[in-house]
Amino acid sequence: MLRLGPRNDMFFDLLEREVTNLHDGARLLLDLVNDYSDAPKKVDRLLEVEHKGDDITREIMERLNKTFITPIEREDISGLAFTIDEILDMVTGVADRMLLYEVGRPTPEVVELCKDMERATATLVKLIHEMRRLSFESVRSLCEEVKRWEMDADQVYRRSVAKLLNEPGYDPLYVIKWKEIYEKLEDGMDFCEDVSNLVEGVILKNA
């Protein structure tokens, strides 16, 4: 059994802050695609969230380097921190590309994908919180929920790319821009599943 003290709880606190910040970013992205007015200001807000996430990730790594005893294995803490940070990079990258590429009005497909991202990251917030309790049943249920959102996003992604490539009339540049944006979101969803797999592994190792 793990012995959790004030010092050890610090890492759970930091991971919870990091994943909550990620969910804030996903909600901002969903707001952006639902209402594309004032897009530059909304992207700036997302970039601020990304910078905050970078700061939290940096703090986790600095504290890992200074802490001898950790509540779970060091590689699990760093793996979770970096993967959560990677998801936020994907979320911000989508918003940034939409602005830089001047894609215009968001497609219905990107709205669907952003909804899945928001739902998946909301579940990750619960999952990281439950990891502290080392409750296998609750963690397994939340991991399955993340996998469902990832599978749904995968289907949306496949339909979206097929539509771009197979339906006539699309400008080639339009296809290139949106295909990259869809891929970025799909990659982010894959990383959400990676986080759930990491947490599940932590629970199994410490059962």
Structure tokens that stand for 128 in this block: 């990281």
User: Which pLDDT value is given to residue 8?
Assistant: 63
Q: Has residue 53 been placed in a domain? A: yes
**What is the share, in percent, of the chain residues with pLDDT greater than 90?**
84
CA angle 92, 130, 1 (to 5 degrees): 130
Domain boundaries, position 62: 6-205
Q: Has residue 1 been placed in a domain? A: no
- CATH assignment at residue 140: 1.20.58.220
Domain count, the chain: 1
Q: Has residue 179 been placed in a domain? A: yes
pLDDT interval class at 206 (50, 70, 90): confident
Orientation of helix 74-100 relative to helix 39-66, angle to 10° = 160
Q: Has residue 22 been placed in a domain? A: yes
pLDDT: which is higher, 104 or 81: 81
- Largest Cα–Cα distance in the chain? 62
Q: Has residue 133 been placed in a domain? A: yes
Question: Which residues does 178 contact at the CB level (< 8 Å), separation at least 6?
Answer: 103, 107, 110, 160, 164
**What predicted TM-score, i.e. pTM, was given to this entire model?**
0.93
pLDDT per position as a tens digit, 3-12: 444 446 899 9
Q: Has residue 98 been placed in a domain? A: yes
pLDDT per position as a tens digit, 117-140: 999 999 999 999 999 887 788 899
